[in-house]
Chains A and B, each alone.
Chain A
Amino acid sequence: MATFMTGVKAVAKRELNAYFNSAVAYVFIVIFLLLCGFFTFYVSNWFEAGQADLRAFFQWHPWIYIMLVPAIAMRLWAEEKRLGTLEIVLTLPLRPSQVILGKFIAAWLFLGLALALTFPMVLTVIYLGQPDMGAIACGYLGSFLMAGAFLGIGTATSAMTGNQVVSFILAVVLCLFFILAGYPPTINILSGWAPLWLVKALENISFISHFASVSRGVVDLRDVLYFLSFMILGLYCNSLLLAWQRQR
């Protein structure tokens, strides 16, 4: 187990450095923070709402992640294939699972860092009122878990192709599906004619419905399990795709 994690750590460290060695990390963080601020303050009119909580902030996260997480994930495998370095990585004495996990952890930690950099929002609420810190912590936890689920999709689509653009577009479309499936307007349209079980099923597989309750401050184990299993599924698909491509 210890040697397993050593390998994972080596890969994760390299991937994290790769983000910071190029402009990707800085561009991503700046844009993420700008979008968060823009949506919260200008679109949701957070100041006028007069509530000392961060719901207006968290509600936009799925929509920000839909563009930015695929952008972070697309290079994970596609870049290695393009450079040919996959041949180095996959002939090191590492199991494919170590490489897959290392890459995922690096990207997830990076997203976690970007999320943590939104801390001025928290300071602002504390300054302006008496917020429920538990609810805010839940919101961050939920957002972090949801980012991981998006990333699960992104790493799998990156493993699918050697082209980063293709990987990005596929990931965006898939993420969009998992958001829209539980988006209230979609549910309203469907509930008029579709059978109840279908509406329920769609709602249950959607990020939105699971994220909504967590971001309100209710940590339901089912929601946590949902996001975790989504990540595991994404990584499993990743390993299948990788094995399948090597087989050919």
Chain B
Amino acid sequence: MIKVDRLTKVFGTTTAVDRVSFTVKRGEVLGFLGPNGAGKSTTMRMITGFFPPTSGSVTIDGLPLADRPVEVRRKLGYLPENAPVYPDMTVEAFLAFCAEARGYSGSPKKQRVKSAIAKCFLDSVVHQRIGTLSKGYRQRVCFAQSILHDPPYLIMDEPTDGLDPNQKHEVRQMIRRMSRDKAILLSTHILDEVDAVCHRALIIAGGRLIADDTPEGLRRRSASYGTVTLVLKNGLTDKLKKRFEALDGVKQVEVINETGPEVTLRLVPAARQPASAARILAQLDRERDLVSFAVDRGRLDDVFRTLTGGSSEITGRTANDPGQPHP
């Protein structure tokens, strides 16, 4: 288990990360969301021990990072933001270096490098210099480096950044496969990714944790969650409207569109307790009138915008993106 306790980082006068606490268990993929400069990368850098926190602690597998940094890092795989790699090395030499630095030698080393190359589909570029590779390949080389030693804990900063849709799909599938026995923390600002791979998501803004929930739970916070849109062929009778309005969980019935006899209705839900689809359908005595029926499952980007302040204002205020910690 990764346990992060009141982690804080202050750069000069700006607080980049402010008392952030959470845990990631084995078998879980935790998504880390937030606007640029919200403190995602800074938090991850503290968890991997790249730099120490101003205060707070990180414990991995019961080992405190501050006291046993080398042991903890042995259990960690880390894919840094922008996937930094040595452009002058070949893919194979780079992975061999990472394996050696992790204490592998001889045939176990070769085995590790080979399997990482296979897992990340790098076979065709093994002997190429990394500098000559495309962004997508470089991302995969760095990804290979992070899973080379089959670590029980994986920290990935924007793992699908710069990949094309097919590669994104591959990487997500790989993450999902690995999530069975690993604890994975990944940051992203692609909200679909959270739905696709994460069991739980954190939202951070201005260095503070503002939500820790399942993707479903987050969507539930969306204003449109549970809104039902109906299209009826033969218009809306007053009687039917009343019956809808009488339902628990329906706050209001709105007619959005009327073309001839066909009418489009929206049933606005009462806060967080929308009526079930079955009960709404039961009100329609002539079901053949129904052209379409849609339930809004809520939208993560709505929730994200609401929680993080909606505009770039927040990003601007906390624009202390420590992308380059060594000016």
Residues of A within 8 A of B (CB): 3, 6-7, 9-11, 13-14, 17-18, 21-22, 81, 83-95, 162, 245-248
Determine the residue in chain B with the shortest Cβ distance to A89: B101
Q: CB-CB < 8 A to A7: which residues of B?
A: 101, 103
- Subset of 16 A-B contacts with CB under 8 Å: A10-B97, A18-B86, A21-B88, A21-B129, A83-B85, A84-B82, A84-B84, A88-B78, A90-B49, A91-B49, A92-B73, A92-B98, A93-B102, A93-B103, A95-B70, A248-B12
Residue contact A162 to B97, C-beta cutoff 8 Å: no
Residue contact B102 to A87, C-beta cutoff 8 Å: no
Interface of A is mostly: helix
Q: CB-CB < 8 A to A9: which residues of B?
A: 100
Determine the residue in chain B with the shortest Cβ distance to A3: B103
Q: CB-CB < 8 A to B176: which residues of A?
A: none
Q: CB-CB < 8 A to A22: which residues of B?
A: 88
Flag B242-255 by CB within 8 Å of A: 1 or 0 each. 00000000000000
Asked, given contacts A22-B88, A162-B324, whether A87 binds B80 with beta carbons under 8 Å apart, the answer is yes
Q: Could you say which of B45, B52, B70, B326 contacts A93, with CB atoms under 8 Å apart?
A: B70
Residue contact A14 to B326, C-beta cutoff 8 Å: no
Residue contact A88 to B326, C-beta cutoff 8 Å: no
Q: CB-CB < 8 A to A245: which residues of B?
A: 325-326
CB proximity of B276 to chain A, nearest CB, Å: 49
Given contacts A88-B78, A91-B78, 20 further A-B contacts (CB under 8 A): A6-B103, A14-B97, A21-B88, A83-B86, A84-B84, A87-B78, A89-B101, A91-B50, A92-B73, A92-B98, A92-B102, A93-B70, A93-B73, A93-B102, A94-B70, A246-B51, A246-B52, A247-B51, A248-B12, A248-B51
Q: B48 at interface (Cβ–Cβ under 8 A)?
A: yes
A14 to B87 alpha-carbon distance, docked (Å): 13
Q: CB-CB < 8 A to B48: which residues of A?
A: 91
Residue contact A18 to B88, C-beta cutoff 8 Å: yes
Q: CB-CB < 8 A to B88: which residues of A?
A: 18, 21-22
Q: B76 at interface (Cβ–Cβ under 8 A)?
A: yes
Q: B125 at interface (Cβ–Cβ under 8 A)?
A: no
Q: B260 at interface (Cβ–Cβ under 8 A)?
A: no
Flag B98-118 by CB within 8 Å of A: 1 or 0 each. 101111010000000000000
CB proximity of A243 to chain B, nearest CB, Å: 9
Residue contact A93 to B93, C-beta cutoff 8 Å: no
Residue contact B84 to A162, C-beta cutoff 8 Å: no
Residue contact B100 to A10, C-beta cutoff 8 Å: yes
Flag B20-39 by CB within 8 Å of A: 1 or 0 each. 00000000000000000000
Interface centre among A83, A86, A87 (most CB of B within 10 A): A87
What band does the interface of chain B fall in when counting residues whose beta carbon is under 8 Å from A? 35 or more
Flag B314-327 by CB within 8 Å of A: 1 or 0 each. 00000000001111
Residues of B within 8 A of A (CB): 11-12, 45, 48-52, 69-71, 73-74, 76, 78, 80, 82, 84-89, 93, 97-98, 100-103, 105, 129, 142, 145, 324-327
A162 to B325 alpha-carbon distance, docked (Å): 10
A13 to B70 alpha-carbon distance, docked (Å): 20
Q: CB-CB < 8 A to A84: which residues of B?
A: 80, 82, 84
Interface centre among A3, A18, A90, A91 (most CB of B within 10 A): A91
Residue contact B100 to A6, C-beta cutoff 8 Å: yes
Residue contact A85 to B103, C-beta cutoff 8 Å: no
Q: CB-CB < 8 A to A248: which residues of B?
A: 11-12, 51, 325
A175 to B12 alpha-carbon distance, docked (Å): 33
Residue contact A85 to B50, C-beta cutoff 8 Å: no
Q: Could you say which of A21, A86, A162 contacts B327, with CB atoms under 8 Å apart?
A: A162
Residue contact B100 to A13, C-beta cutoff 8 Å: yes
Residue contact A88 to B11, C-beta cutoff 8 Å: no
For the complex of A and B, 6 pairs with smallest distance between CB atoms:
A84-B84, A10-B100, A93-B73, A246-B51, A87-B80, A21-B88
Residue contact B89 to A88, C-beta cutoff 8 Å: no
CB proximity of B210 to chain A, nearest CB, Å: 26
CB proximity of A245 to chain B, nearest CB, Å: 5
Residue contact A90 to B326, C-beta cutoff 8 Å: no
A66 to B160 alpha-carbon distance, docked (Å): 46
Q: Could you say which of A94, A95, A246 contacts B50, with CB atoms under 8 Å apart?
A: A246
Q: CB-CB < 8 A to A81: which residues of B?
A: 326
Interface centre among A10, A22, A90, A162 (most CB of B within 10 A): A10
A191 to B154 alpha-carbon distance, docked (Å): 64
Residue contact B51 to A91, C-beta cutoff 8 Å: no
Determine the residue in chain B with the shortest Cβ distance to A242: B326
A205 to B11 alpha-carbon distance, docked (Å): 38
Determine the residue in chain A with the shortest Cβ distance to B93: A17
A22 to B131 alpha-carbon distance, docked (Å): 12
A90 to B89 alpha-carbon distance, docked (Å): 18
A50 to B181 alpha-carbon distance, docked (Å): 76
A21 to B51 alpha-carbon distance, docked (Å): 30
Q: CB-CB < 8 A to A88: which residues of B?
A: 78, 80, 84-85, 98, 142, 145
